[in-house]
Amino acid sequence: MNRRVLLICLIVVTSAGSAAAADAGKQIVLQGGSNPGATACVTCHGVNGTGNAAAGFPRLAGLSASYLERQLEAFRLGTRTTAVMAPIAKALTGSESASVSEYYAHQHPPAPQTQAPPQQLAAGMRLAITGDWANGIPACVTCHGPAGQGIGGPYFPALAGQHASYTVSQIQAWKDGARTSDPINLMKSVAEALTQEQVEAVAAYFASLPALDKNTSAESVDALAELPPTHAEQTPADHSEGFIPPSEAEIPDNEFGRMVWLGKKVFVHTQQAASKYAGNALNCVNCHLDRGRLASSAPLWGAWPMYPAYRGKNDKVNTMTDRIQGCFTFSMNGSPPPGDSKVMTALLAYSYWLAQGAPTGVALPGSGYPDLPDPELAPSRERGRAVFEGNCALCHGAHGQGKKVDGAYWFPPLWGPDSYNWGAGMHRVNTAASFINANMPLGLGGELLTNQQAWDVAAYIDAHPRPQDPRYENSVEQTDERFHDHNCFYGESGGE
């Protein structure tokens, strides 16, 4: 057999295996498992996994099998504590757990029904899509996928179409410690930051969304771009005395305002809205969190008032246009949008808009990435690997390759051909360490990792191969000598 035939056979076998498992699963759903106490799932979750909103039983239909299986494991381990599910999960055998998970994963989720008031839904949508960075809350969709449809795999389940009552109860469980199965305490941290009003709003919003099956990225991107402004938007600032950019509700409804919205779209959905200039899989927002609003994450309102400025990197006075073009050349490994292109005008308009009221030429607190003290120990790639595997791989993949949903990157790759190149600022270990320390893991910046860990993991990440420096001349050695007189691994790894 040649390789293609082998591949097809494998797919057929795998599908057949899943189907068989699902059949076995159905039997358990209807009649229970082989051990005493493994009662039929249908009682609470329904034969099609629709659950029961009034009783707070979750919808299981269409959730990923590995996620469902991991939950059964959590009930067994006690990292999820419920009087009902713990004994059932313990009574199910390993293969029964797998079968029943596979079965429910294959059920078609029902159309959502909601009677939540529009104002609550709008508040929930805002939280889901943009977060509440002033209180350290990242957007839910960052981890739960476009339109809340989940990322696939054992973590980050779909929230779309889930009963609001269940979502509310689970957020409470994270808060109370009744559920501790979240990796690196991500959900506990978020749950503790949410107000009860926010919890109910975001649960209502996700309950109102259809649990989409496939190819929804484009749709959800459109939805994001059309997100209506809210009136209570706060600036991202754990730096509470810092600069407050204007709320999107203040963007005027005119030609200028439409250019600002386009700029935001390009900034957040660079892959879709500026595809011809993007040479990798990143979006501007990957390095400039919260739509370029977040303090200590190189916010646009911090950059706009500081240009034109001289930069040693290209040894000239750079306009803001030059600076943005630099981002596209290096961080985006692409080609710079021309100065008179609509994409550039839009990015300038969006940057300018975010800086409304900021004094020209004044470096605001929270600009750029904060200085990070030198580490006590020289950064170690080996220690960094452990930090990465324990904290970063969850989203960025075991090999730094990021994660895709429906074929498109959702979590950004940190190295390899789809990441920033050897000319980007982020390839400098000190820059990456500073960004990581202030902002990673998402929502836990400065809380989870020590300074030393930030340095170590930055070294680990930045030592990996990535696209060549576009200023490459003749050889890695020569390019290294000319352009890489800073804290980086270019000379060592730039030729890979």
Residues of this chain that bind a copy of itself (CB under 8 A): 254-256, 259, 304-305, 307-310, 315-317, 319, 321-322, 338-340, 344-345, 348-349, 352-353, 355-362
Q: How far is the CB of 14 from a copy of itself (least distance, A)?
A: 52
**Three-class DSSP category at 147:** helix
As measured in angstroms, the least distance from the Cβ of 295 to a copy of itself is: 17
Give the integer Cα–Cα distance in Å for 459 and 135: 30
DSSP state of 177: T
Which residues partner with 318 through β-bridges? 309
Q: Which is nearer to a copy of itself, 20 or 310 (CB)?
A: 310
For a copy of itself, which is the closer residue by CB, 245 or 368?
A: 245
d(CA 314, CA 388): 32
Smallest separation, CB 307 to a copy of itself (Å): 7
Separation CA 104–CA 102 (nearest Å) = 6
**Cβ-based nearer residue to a copy of itself, 122 or 273:** 273
Tell me whether residue 11 or residue 309 sits nearer to a copy of itself (CB atom).
309
Separation CA 336–CA 250 (nearest Å):
30
The answer to whether 205 and 161 have CB atoms below 8 angstroms apart is no
Min dist CB 264 to a copy of itself, Å, is 14
Rounded CA separation 212/158 (Å): 9
| Nearest CB to a copy of itself, comparing residues 46 and 245 | 245
CB of 326 to a copy of itself, least distance (A): 13
Rounded CA-CA distance 318/323 in Å is 6
Measured from the CB atom, the residue of 273 and 358 that comes closer to a copy of itself is: 358
Which residue number, 191 or 324, has a Cβ lying nearer to a copy of itself? Answer: 324
The kind and range of the H/E element at 411 are strand 408-411
Bin 438: left if φ > 0, else alpha if -120 < ψ < 50, else beta.
alpha
**Least distance (Å) from a copy of itself to the CB of residue 363?**
12
Spatial contact of 235 and 275, defined as CB atoms under 8 Å apart: no
DSSP secondary-structure letter at 1?
A: -
Least gap, CB of 254 to a copy of itself (angstroms): 6
Q: How far is the CB of 409 from a copy of itself (least distance, A)?
A: 30
CB atoms within 10 A of CB 350: 26
Q: What's the chain's length in residues?
A: 496
Residue 159 or 262 with smaller CB distance to a copy of itself: 262
Instruction: State the nearest-atom distance from the C-beta of 480 to a copy of itself, in Å.
Output: 25
CB of 274 to a copy of itself, least distance (A): 16
To a copy of itself, the closest distance from the beta carbon of 235 in angstroms equals 15
Instruction: Classify 77 as helix, strand or coil.
Output: helix
DSSP for 463-481, please give it: TS--SPPTT--S-HHHHHH
Inter-residue long-range contacts of 422-426, CB under 8 Å, 24+ positions, other chains counted: 422/466, 422/467, 422/468, 422/469, 422/484, 422/488, 422/490, 422/494, 423/329, 423/330, 423/469, 423/470, 423/471, 423/483, 424/330, 424/331, 424/333, 425/330, 425/331, 426/287, 426/331, 426/462
Q: Of 260 and 461, which CB lies nearer to a copy of itself in the complex structure?
A: 260
Phi, then psi, of 58 in degrees rounded to 5: -70, 150
Closer residue to a copy of itself, CB minimum distance, 360 or 474: 360
3-state secondary structure of 79: coil
Beta bridge partners of 40: none
Q: Which is nearer to a copy of itself, 118 or 361 (CB)?
A: 361
Question: Which residues share a beta bridge with 405?
Answer: 408
